[in-house]
Chains A and B, each alone.
Chain A
Amino acid sequence: MTTTVWGTTVADHNDPNSVNSIFSDVDVSAADVYDMFGYPSDATDEEKVVLALTFAAVPEAGVFDTDMLYRLQVNPHARSVRPGTDEWSLSALSRYFDAMRDHYLGQRHAAEIRVTVDSSGTATVRFSDFPGGSFTTRVHTNEVTSIRAPSGAEITAYLGGRDDAFFNDLTGFFRSINYAPQFYHVPMARQDLRELPIPKTLLELEGNSLFNYNPEIPEHGHGVKLDLPPGPYTWEGDSFAKDADGNYRFVYSGMDAQAGKNVNAIILEVPLSFLTERPEEERVVNVWGESWVLKASSKIETIPDDPLWLENPVALLRRRGLDDELQRYKLVDTVGQPFADAGLSEREDSRQLGANNFWLAPAFVRRLAHLGWGFGPSVTALGLASAFDHDNSPVSVHKKYATAAAAFPRGRKLIFQELRMPDDSWNKNRLDIPLRRPFEIFIPNVCAIDVDTTGTWPFGRRPEDQVATRFLSMFLDMGAPLGTSGYSVETLGDQALWDGAKITPRTPPNPLHNDTPFLTEFPYLAPAW
């Protein structure tokens, strides 16, 4: 026997101790799904819905990563039953979540559309389990294509590069939640330092030097990152910041952080009759998107007689429930509602839950209360009515709750109140459609398109929706009086409100328009830059 026994000598200086340094995480940003748009189309011949999943333009706009699989899951249903308006209790909320969980995890499986693209730019599109049929077709990317289903239904498709339809002041949003990685290089060893323990706020806090706008570094947070100072990472002040004229400083700038940027997109216009056998009854179409990346073992599986799934029962067990194709991929990212990840859940791994985010329900209650303590006092300071009970705190507070039960009383109205719309234009068929409430919007994390509406958020999501402004409107007391029309999801988008406020800059949270106009015809999103 020699001590150069196979496996000991050659491995010694390359054992797992050096794995981290050898194999840095490779960027998989083609897997970063951005937005899920969904709304009834204006087609006059038959009812159709527009579904648009956008994701990072990697390797470039119009060129898809051939290792990726994108999946849109679609689940039409009748409008859900929910707790009555007189029962704003935690138990009523729990019953709702239980009912939804049974719906999504029980007998009903969503139909789905899968897309992969090969190196020649040809996409394979698989429609599975739709009443209108299951079939596979191949289409060219970057072209508007008409797909005929076995049922005869015509589906219009575009898969390719477009202008990013998301227009939003992301820096402002991250400033509002004191999200360090947008502004600082956070050490790998300090991943706990993401949302710093400083009150969430819409108005800058006096002395919050880590996140307040610094005119000497105007691009800070807009691409410029500094090294994270050594701390402290808390805030000990007691007031909102004001300038010499007594104006608050808004965390939002009104700038579109995505201006001039492209995405890749899967855009489909699909007849409702293809999606459901009962289009007259099933008037809500839930849709959510996922990205999956090919596993390394699948990439080389042409080697015979040793596929992992045959030889390894452990791996096989982990893949239970996935079909043959999905077993070859790894789920990376999920998108349903805007701000569901960043706004309502701190947990990175929750991003992969999609419609199955029911277990996050307690975290949702706690998180809304945490946000409420931050945004509620900001709203009040602006002279607006807050839906969150913050005991008239004069300034934002950093507070976290250990239990949903403790958080719930403060956030009851925030969770249960109906989000009023500015007028009735959303209700295009003039039906008795209940207004949506925050808990229904975010759990499950899907884009729920009500086909009897225009599909404007939260009854779906249209590209032109100012979702940041509408998201923040949850913190307004929709039952309080305001002018002649009261509060609505568009209140914070009213320029007149800002013109009259003691604040700078005087801008709605969301930029008012996309950097380039949306199209009135399919594929609706503007061409890539």
Chain B
Amino acid sequence: MTAMTAMTAMTAMTKPRPGYDADLAGLRQQLVEHEAAADPGSPTAACEVLTLRHREATLSGGRPAELLAIGAEIDRAVERFPAWPDLRLLRATVALALHRIDLARAALDAVPGLTVVPPGRVLAADLAQFDGDYAGARACYLAAAREDPRWDTCARLAALALATGDVEGADDRYAMAEDEITAKQMRAFAWVRAQRADLAAAVGEFGRAERHLADAELAYPGWWYVTAHRAALDLARDRPQAAAAGYQKVLADVDRPEFREALGTALAAAGEPAQGAAWHHSALAEYRRSADRGDVHYLHHLAAYYADVEPDPEAAVAFARDDVRVRRNGATLSLLAWCLHRAGRTAEAEHIVQEAFALGAGDPVLQARAQEIRRAIGWP
């Protein structure tokens, strides 16, 4: 082997695998370069660096602590460049990821006209959906799609269709989104396939879900996000050992409490209750620390946890109500109804279900919960 071929071989060994690893490495390199070259007096430079940080944080796991830190950084940048609209868009995006509707709305309201340009319209639609205004969200998405057709707006319309109970329409929209995605956007393709897998599994079409995830894995290898979906599917298909292995793999990349909780559930189902409980408690501790700090993004996890994992019905209801106060929509009302039902307050639960349906919500989880709650109070 010559020195050159040895070097080539070394390079091949150290080169990240195509897919997630390569993308993340490339993104981090890009971030380093931008940070080194950034002009501190330039809003464009500040926005580019923060956008790259946000992308890096989201791609590498979307850990709320990182997003909170980035949100604070954006706030500092906004103080310096209050009129730069892209910083406001980024702030709204990060705020929404953390369920801070108030901050997202404030960011969009800060610059006149921001909600009438396509990226602002999309965020306004996201906000409307968080608020349970499904018709308003749809109108905004459609307006944005007319002005600037993008696959991700189409994917949002798919998610909206699912939230309102149109499962078939949702899959059609996801397929349309997919049709716009090119070979240069394989991560986007994998993401959509993961959503379609969700959708298929939600209506019991597990074989179809498997195929979608296989596509996603092939399209964009090594992404924890797809692995997490695979593990969830394994759990749903009563393959807890495989699910546990999957979640352990995910946790090696992304340590988030919801994955710890899921691993705990898989281990418990696999006949390892002690280990499962340990992971559950670890997740709970993280959820609680978040809530104790005043953050709201894990409220729904706390409610769900206390409803089903380690039942404490009153705590579950309390957290679910807190979450509804933050964002009153079909998903949060659905969870509140479920918590009430688990607390034995089934009549109240049915009332909340009615409210969710009145908003126009109708996703498969809500439908299933509604059926169980209504059966419990004697509905046919």
Contact = CB atoms under 8 A, between A and B. Distances in A.
A10 B155 contact: no
Interface stretch (B6-14, B174-182, B287-295, B351-359): B174-182
Nearest to A312: B175
B232 A6 contact: yes
Contacts of B185: 23, 25-26, 296
Contacts of A294: 182-183
Contact of B93 (A5, A18, A305, A308): A18
Nearest to A189: B85
B276 interface: no
B178 A297 contact: yes
Contacts of B308: 1-4
Contact of A230 (B83, B88, B208): B83
A23 B188 contact: yes
Residue of A11, A187, A312, A318 with most chain B CB atoms under a 10 A cut-off: A187
Interface string B197-235: 011011000001001101100110000010011001101
A192 B120 CA distance: 13
A16 B258 contact: no
B277 interface: no
B333 interface: no
Interface residues of B, number: 91
Contacts of A306: 208, 211-212, 215
A169 to B, nearest CB: 25
B368 A5 contact: yes
A4 B265 contact: yes
Contacts of A293: 182-184
A502 to B, nearest CB: 38
A33 to B, nearest CB: 16
Contacts of A325: none
Nearest to B157: A16
A330 interface: yes
Given A3-B304, A293-B182, A303-B214, A191 B117 contact: yes
A15 interface: yes
Interface of B: prevailing SS: helix
Contacts of A10: 228-229, 232, 258, 262
Contacts of B225: 14
Given A1-B369, A15-B159, A21-B93, A300 B62 contact: no
B43 A227 contact: yes
Given A14-B62, A21-B93, A189-B117, A300 B179 contact: no
Interface in A5-38: 5-28
A221 to B, nearest CB: 16
B276 to A, nearest CB: 13
Nearest to A66: B183
A314 B93 contact: no
B241 interface: no
Contact of B178 (A188, A191, A296): A296
A308 B258 contact: no
A56 to B, nearest CB: 13
B297 A13 contact: yes
B372 A1 contact: yes
B183 A21 contact: no
Nearest to A303: B215
Given A6-B198, A314-B176, A23 B191 contact: yes
B78 to A, nearest CB: 13
A189 B119 contact: yes
A263 B64 CA distance: 45
Contacts of A19: 152, 155-156, 188, 191
A299 interface: yes
A308 B175 contact: yes
A20 B155 CA distance: 11
Nearest to A6: B236
A158 B89 CA distance: 47
Interface string B2-20: 0000000000000000000
Given A191-B117, A308-B175, A22 B97 contact: no
A67 interface: yes
B189 A297 contact: yes
B34 interface: no
Contacts of B258: 9-10, 12-13
B282 interface: no
A26 B47 CA distance: 18
A23 B152 contact: yes
A188 B86 contact: yes
B278 interface: no
B340 to A, nearest CB: 13
Contact of B51 (A21, A185, A230): A21
Interface in A37-94: 67
Contact of A189 (B111, B175, B187): B111
B245 interface: no
B183 A7 contact: no
Contacts of A27: 184
Nearest to A302: B218
Contacts of A25: 185
Given A2-B308, A314-B172, A16 B155 contact: yes
Interface in B34-67: 42-44, 47, 51, 54-55, 58-59, 62, 64
A13 to B, nearest CB: 5
A6 B183 contact: no
B186 interface: yes
B84 to A, nearest CB: 6
Nearest to A306: B211
Contacts of A314: 172, 175-176
B215 A187 contact: no
B191 A308 contact: no
Of A6, A25, A293, A303, chain B has the most CB atoms within 10 Å of the CB of A6
Contacts of B219: 296, 299-300
Contacts of A189: 85-86, 88-89, 111, 114, 117, 119-120
A64 to B, nearest CB: 14
A330 B262 CA distance: 39
B307 interface: yes
Interface in A152-194: 185, 187-192
A196 to B, nearest CB: 16
Q: Give 4 nearest A-B pairs by CB, closest first.
A: A3-B304, A296-B189, A189-B85, A7-B198
8 contacts: A7-B232, A16-B159, A18-B58, A20-B119, A22-B58, A28-B184, A191-B117, A299-B183
Interface of A: 1-28, 67, 185, 187-192, 227, 230, 293-300, 303, 305-306, 308, 311-312, 314-315, 318-319, 330
Given A3-B307, A189-B114, 7 more contacts: A4-B304, A9-B262, A10-B258, A67-B182, A189-B117, A189-B119, A191-B117
